Amino acid sequence: MLALDLFLFIFSCGLILCIIGLLIHMKHKMRELADLKMEFVATASHELRSPLTAVRWALSELRNSPSLSQDARTIVNELYDRITAIITRSNTFLETAAADYTHMKRKDLKNIDLAAMVRESVAQAQSVAQMKHTSVRVDPLFEGTAPILADPVRLRLVFDNLLSNAVKYSPEHSVVRVSCTQDRTHKIVSVQDQGIGIPKNELQAVFSGYHRASNAQRSGALGSGFGLFMAKKIIDFHGGTITCESEEGKGTTFSVSLPAGV
Amino acid sequence: MEPQNILVLDDNTTLLDILAHHFAKTGAKVQTATSCNEAIEKVKATHFDIALVDLLLPDHPGFDFVKAVKAMPEPHPFFAILTDSINASQVADAIEIGVTTYIQKAEHDPGEIVGMVMDRYRNQKKA
């Protein structure tokens, strides 16, 4: 009886060790596969987008040429619109393939200055906003407060995306406001625009991936709807929340709440 | 202070010519290079205020050019990375070597790129 118990015990231990070994091996293989995928996307995106960039830039030069006849300008403008649409679609495919959330690891989290990150993201958005005759104003209430734990590259993508959207859908001479508030447990960054807004019945879907509000599609602005899906995944990983309030025709506010580094 | 000398490094000569033409409108003298080694030689001969760097080059990655120039005595140019590749780890690499201007070429017209780079160059000079 004792021998049988001992045999079962050794057998169970062996089985558990085998399963653990198998899981470690699978995890290693998945990581290898993810690395290969990222490498493929990096190469494919370059090979695909380099010729598209050359065509876009050449058409951009041509459409601004004063010697172009009206008929020719109409055709060139149409070609330019089509090529930018192809670029946007290729971005969607490539970003989807590149989006590997298994690469988000707790060990990549660092202490970061959230205010500095928001400031850099705003500075980047300012130059595009100026070209659209809009402005971005920030209320830097975080100054001098404790850092937060975050993956700096991915979190920056979230703010870049929110600001880029806000500027993209804002009318001329409007203001995009970035406010930073905090309570005892969370830091909250809000990006508020005075743009086209999102229809009430479509609000739930904005973070679901590839969803673009019907009025955003009609606006003619380029976009895939993937950015907000990616933003939610990244904020979820950080243990935070991202929410959206909007009124069609009046504007939209996205709020990112992140655990404060206390 | 406005930039006096600008270097544009890209192995695609069509893009190189268009970008050089647009940056020349700022009043700066623009030089071009199509490889990392050629660009390094030009930096040895001239001080550039701005260097625009494509990442995929025939001889070495664009990051090698940035590192080689940063190893030279100061002042260093303001670097802007231009790329067509979607690669999150490249963004992290750029930040690690102190380059925060990272522009996807396909997503902007050349005139927009000039505006973005000049804005950030001026902001850095003010800081």
Q: pLDDT for A113-161, tens place per residue?
A: 888 888 888 887 887 788 778 899 988 666 666 788 888 877 888 898 8
Closest CB from A56, A131, A153 relative to B88: A153
Please indicate whether, in this complex, the C-beta atoms of A56 and B56 are within 8 angstroms of each other: no
Q: What is the DSSP string of A119-146?
A: HHHHHHHHHHHHHTT-EEEEE-TTTTPP
Closest CB from A50, A124, A131 relative to B84: A50
Please indicate whether, in this complex, the C-beta atoms of A127 and B90 are within 8 angstroms of each other: no
Please indicate whether, in this complex, the C-beta atoms of B110 and A61 are within 8 angstroms of each other: yes
Q: What is the DSSP string of B59-94?
A: SS-HHHHHHHHHTSSSPPPEEEEEES---HHHHHHH
Q: For residues A164 and A180, what is the distance between their CA atoms, to the nearest angstrom?
A: 18
Rg (CA), chain B: 13
Judged on CB neighbours under 10 Å (0-12, 13-18, 19+), B35 is middle
Q: pLDDT for B38-50, tens place per residue?
A: 999 999 999 999 9
Residue numbers in chain A where pLDDT is lower than 50: 102, 222, 262
Distances, alpha carbon A121 to alpha carbons A154, A176, B44, B83, B108, in Å: 12, 13, 33, 19, 17
Q: Which residues of B touch A42 (CB under 8 A)?
A: 85-87, 90
Q: Where along chain B do its domains lie? A: 5-126
Bridge partner residues of A111 (DSSP) = A149
Phi, psi of B106 (to 5 degrees): -65, -20
Which among B15, B106, B56 has a CA at the least distance from the CA of A90? B106
A54 Cα to chain B: minimum distance (Å): 6
Torsion of Cα atoms, A208 then A213 then A214 then A217, to 10°: -110
Q: In chain A, whose CA is at the least distance from the CA of B93? A: A153
The complex scores an ipTM of 0.83
The domain made up of B5-126 is a member of CATH 3.40.50.2300: yes
**What's the confidence (pLDDT) of residue A262?**
43
Q: Which three-class secondary structure string do you get for A185-235?
A: CEEEEEEEECCCCCCHHHHHHHHCCCCCCHHHHHCCCCCCCHHHHHHHHHH
3-class DSSP state of A257:
strand
Q: What pTM does this model have?
A: 0.56
Closest CB from B100, B105, B120 relative to A53: B105
Please indicate whether, in this complex, the C-beta atoms of B15 and A130 are within 8 angstroms of each other: no
Q: Which residues of B touch A52 (CB under 8 A)?
A: 106
CB B8 within 8 A of CB B49: no
Residue of B97, B107, B112 to mutate, interface with A, max A Cβ within 10 Å: B107
CB A180 within 8 A of CB A138: yes
